[in-house]
Amino acid sequence: MKKLATLFQDSYRELRKVGTVTTMAMFAAIGIVLGSLTIQIGDFIKIGFSTIANQFVYYLFGPAVGCFYGGALDILKYAVKPTGAFFPGWTFNAMAAGVLYGLFFYKKKLSLVRVLAAEFTVCVLCNMILGTLWLDMMYGKGFFVLLPMRVIKNLAMWPVNSFLFYTMTFALERTGVFRLIHSFR
Protein backbone atom coordinates (compact mmCIF):
# COMPACT_ATOMS: atom_id res chain seq x y z
CA MET A 1 0.00 0.00 0.00
CA LYS A 2 2.90 2.30 0.78
CA LYS A 3 4.33 1.74 -2.72
CA LEU A 4 1.01 2.78 -4.24
CA ALA A 5 0.90 5.99 -2.17
CA THR A 6 4.49 6.78 -3.15
CA LEU A 7 3.66 6.19 -6.80
CA PHE A 8 0.77 8.68 -6.63
CA GLN A 9 2.90 11.21 -4.73
CA ASP A 10 5.72 10.98 -7.28
CA SER A 11 3.22 11.35 -10.09
CA TYR A 12 1.60 14.34 -8.39
CA ARG A 13 5.02 16.01 -8.09
CA GLU A 14 5.40 15.56 -11.86
CA LEU A 15 2.25 17.63 -12.38
CA ARG A 16 3.85 20.60 -10.65
CA LYS A 17 6.63 20.90 -13.26
CA VAL A 18 6.27 23.25 -16.23
CA GLY A 19 7.93 20.73 -18.54
CA THR A 20 5.35 18.12 -17.63
CA VAL A 21 2.47 20.47 -18.38
CA THR A 22 3.94 21.49 -21.75
CA THR A 23 4.59 17.85 -22.67
CA MET A 24 1.01 17.01 -21.70
CA ALA A 25 -0.22 19.84 -23.93
CA MET A 26 1.84 18.51 -26.84
CA PHE A 27 0.45 15.01 -26.45
CA ALA A 28 -3.08 16.43 -25.98
CA ALA A 29 -2.77 18.19 -29.34
CA ILE A 30 -1.60 14.96 -30.96
CA GLY A 31 -4.47 13.10 -29.27
CA ILE A 32 -7.04 15.60 -30.54
CA VAL A 33 -5.72 15.30 -34.10
CA LEU A 34 -5.73 11.50 -33.90
CA GLY A 35 -9.22 11.66 -32.37
CA SER A 36 -10.50 13.46 -35.43
CA LEU A 37 -9.56 10.38 -37.45
CA THR A 38 -11.95 8.16 -35.47
CA ILE A 39 -14.06 5.72 -37.46
CA GLN A 40 -17.72 5.57 -36.38
CA ILE A 41 -19.43 2.20 -36.89
CA GLY A 42 -23.12 2.54 -36.15
CA ASP A 43 -24.38 4.53 -33.19
CA PHE A 44 -22.42 2.87 -30.41
CA ILE A 45 -19.05 1.71 -31.80
CA LYS A 46 -16.03 3.93 -32.50
CA ILE A 47 -12.55 2.87 -33.53
CA GLY A 48 -9.81 5.41 -32.93
CA PHE A 49 -6.15 5.63 -32.01
CA SER A 50 -5.98 8.81 -29.94
CA THR A 51 -5.41 6.73 -26.81
CA ILE A 52 -1.85 5.96 -27.95
CA ALA A 53 -0.81 9.61 -27.50
CA ASN A 54 -2.57 9.62 -24.13
CA GLN A 55 -0.79 6.45 -23.04
CA PHE A 56 2.56 8.18 -23.53
CA VAL A 57 1.51 10.71 -20.87
CA TYR A 58 0.44 7.94 -18.49
CA TYR A 59 3.71 6.09 -19.13
CA LEU A 60 5.88 9.16 -18.59
CA PHE A 61 4.07 10.84 -15.70
CA GLY A 62 1.97 8.29 -13.82
CA PRO A 63 -1.50 7.84 -12.35
CA ALA A 64 -2.09 11.25 -10.71
CA VAL A 65 -1.11 13.11 -13.86
CA GLY A 66 -3.03 10.53 -15.89
CA CYS A 67 -6.21 11.18 -13.91
CA PHE A 68 -5.96 14.95 -14.37
CA TYR A 69 -4.89 14.70 -18.01
CA GLY A 70 -7.60 12.19 -18.93
CA GLY A 71 -10.38 14.29 -17.42
CA ALA A 72 -9.12 17.60 -18.79
CA LEU A 73 -8.55 16.16 -22.26
CA ASP A 74 -12.01 14.60 -22.37
CA ILE A 75 -13.61 17.96 -21.61
CA LEU A 76 -11.30 19.75 -24.07
CA LYS A 77 -12.08 17.26 -26.86
CA TYR A 78 -15.78 17.74 -26.24
CA ALA A 79 -15.35 21.52 -26.41
CA VAL A 80 -13.36 21.28 -29.67
CA LYS A 81 -15.54 18.72 -31.43
CA PRO A 82 -18.66 17.64 -29.58
CA THR A 83 -20.07 14.26 -30.59
CA GLY A 84 -23.43 13.83 -28.93
CA ALA A 85 -24.43 15.12 -25.52
CA PHE A 86 -21.87 15.72 -22.78
CA PHE A 87 -22.01 13.01 -20.14
CA PRO A 88 -19.75 13.06 -17.05
CA GLY A 89 -19.44 9.27 -17.11
CA TRP A 90 -17.15 9.50 -20.13
CA THR A 91 -14.95 11.99 -18.26
CA PHE A 92 -14.84 9.58 -15.33
CA ASN A 93 -13.83 6.79 -17.76
CA ALA A 94 -10.99 8.92 -19.13
CA MET A 95 -9.78 9.68 -15.61
CA ALA A 96 -10.04 6.04 -14.51
CA ALA A 97 -8.15 4.88 -17.61
CA GLY A 98 -5.42 7.43 -16.86
CA VAL A 99 -5.05 6.08 -13.34
CA LEU A 100 -5.04 2.44 -14.49
CA TYR A 101 -2.53 2.96 -17.29
CA GLY A 102 -0.39 5.05 -14.93
CA LEU A 103 -0.38 2.28 -12.34
CA PHE A 104 0.71 -0.27 -14.93
CA PHE A 105 3.34 1.85 -16.72
CA TYR A 106 4.80 4.57 -14.47
CA LYS A 107 8.34 3.83 -13.31
CA LYS A 108 8.06 0.23 -14.48
CA LYS A 109 9.95 -1.70 -17.10
CA LEU A 110 7.78 -1.88 -20.18
CA SER A 111 7.03 -5.35 -21.54
CA LEU A 112 4.50 -6.64 -24.00
CA VAL A 113 2.83 -8.65 -21.21
CA ARG A 114 2.51 -5.51 -19.06
CA VAL A 115 1.02 -3.57 -21.98
CA LEU A 116 -1.41 -6.39 -22.79
CA ALA A 117 -2.47 -6.58 -19.12
CA ALA A 118 -2.98 -2.81 -18.87
CA GLU A 119 -4.91 -2.62 -22.12
CA PHE A 120 -7.08 -5.61 -21.14
CA THR A 121 -7.86 -4.12 -17.72
CA VAL A 122 -8.89 -0.79 -19.23
CA CYS A 123 -10.87 -2.56 -21.98
CA VAL A 124 -12.87 -4.61 -19.50
CA LEU A 125 -13.41 -2.07 -16.71
CA CYS A 126 -13.64 1.24 -18.57
CA ASN A 127 -14.78 0.31 -22.07
CA MET A 128 -16.89 -2.81 -21.73
CA ILE A 129 -18.46 -2.40 -18.30
CA LEU A 130 -18.56 1.33 -17.56
CA GLY A 131 -18.79 2.46 -21.20
CA THR A 132 -21.73 0.16 -21.83
CA LEU A 133 -23.36 1.35 -18.60
CA TRP A 134 -23.00 5.00 -19.73
CA LEU A 135 -24.54 4.21 -23.11
CA ASP A 136 -27.41 2.42 -21.40
CA MET A 137 -27.97 5.41 -19.10
CA MET A 138 -27.77 7.91 -21.95
CA TYR A 139 -29.85 6.15 -24.58
CA GLY A 140 -31.81 3.48 -22.69
CA LYS A 141 -30.84 0.74 -25.17
CA GLY A 142 -30.24 -1.90 -22.51
CA PHE A 143 -26.90 -2.89 -21.03
CA PHE A 144 -27.03 -6.52 -22.19
CA VAL A 145 -28.17 -5.51 -25.67
CA LEU A 146 -25.14 -3.23 -26.15
CA LEU A 147 -22.59 -5.41 -24.35
CA PRO A 148 -21.96 -8.12 -27.00
CA MET A 149 -20.95 -5.72 -29.78
CA ARG A 150 -18.79 -3.70 -27.36
CA VAL A 151 -17.07 -6.87 -26.13
CA ILE A 152 -16.32 -7.98 -29.69
CA LYS A 153 -14.97 -4.56 -30.67
CA ASN A 154 -12.80 -4.26 -27.55
CA LEU A 155 -11.43 -7.79 -27.78
CA ALA A 156 -10.57 -7.18 -31.44
CA MET A 157 -8.84 -3.87 -30.67
CA TRP A 158 -7.06 -5.10 -27.51
CA PRO A 159 -4.06 -6.74 -29.24
CA VAL A 160 -3.93 -4.05 -31.95
CA ASN A 161 -3.77 -1.18 -29.45
CA SER A 162 -1.35 -3.10 -27.24
CA PHE A 163 1.03 -3.89 -30.09
CA LEU A 164 0.91 -0.32 -31.45
CA PHE A 165 1.64 1.24 -28.06
CA TYR A 166 4.36 -1.26 -27.21
CA THR A 167 6.21 -0.92 -30.52
CA MET A 168 5.93 2.87 -30.60
CA THR A 169 7.07 3.22 -26.98
CA PHE A 170 9.94 0.80 -27.54
CA ALA A 171 11.04 2.78 -30.61
CA LEU A 172 10.79 6.12 -28.79
CA GLU A 173 12.77 4.71 -25.85
CA ARG A 174 15.46 3.34 -28.16
CA THR A 175 15.83 6.62 -30.03
CA GLY A 176 16.09 8.61 -26.78
CA VAL A 177 12.96 10.73 -27.27
CA PHE A 178 11.63 9.99 -23.78
CA ARG A 179 15.06 10.66 -22.24
CA LEU A 180 15.03 14.01 -24.00
CA ILE A 181 11.54 14.78 -22.67
CA HIS A 182 12.67 13.92 -19.12
CA SER A 183 15.73 16.15 -19.45
CA PHE A 184 13.57 19.22 -20.17
CA ARG A 185 11.53 18.87 -17.00
pTM attached to this predicted model: 0.90
Q: How far is residue 94's CA from residue 117's CA, in Å, rounded to a whole number?
A: 18
Q: Is the pLDDT of residue 26 over 70?
A: yes
pLDDT above 70 coverage of the chain, percent:
96
* pLDDT score at 81: 79
d(CA 71, CA 90): 9
Model confidence over 108-137: pLDDT tens digits? 999 999 999 999 999 999 999 999 999 999
Residues with Cβ within 8 Å of residue 81, at least 6 apart in sequence: 32, 35, 36
- Rg of the chain, C-alpha, whole Å: 16
Nearest to 69 by CA among 10, 105, 29: 29
pLDDT at residue number 111:
96
pLDDT digits (tens, 9 = 90+) for 72-106: 999 998 888 787 789 999 999 999 999 999 999 99
pLDDT at 12: 95
CA distances from 28 to 1, 55, 132, 156, 158 (A): 31, 11, 25, 25, 22
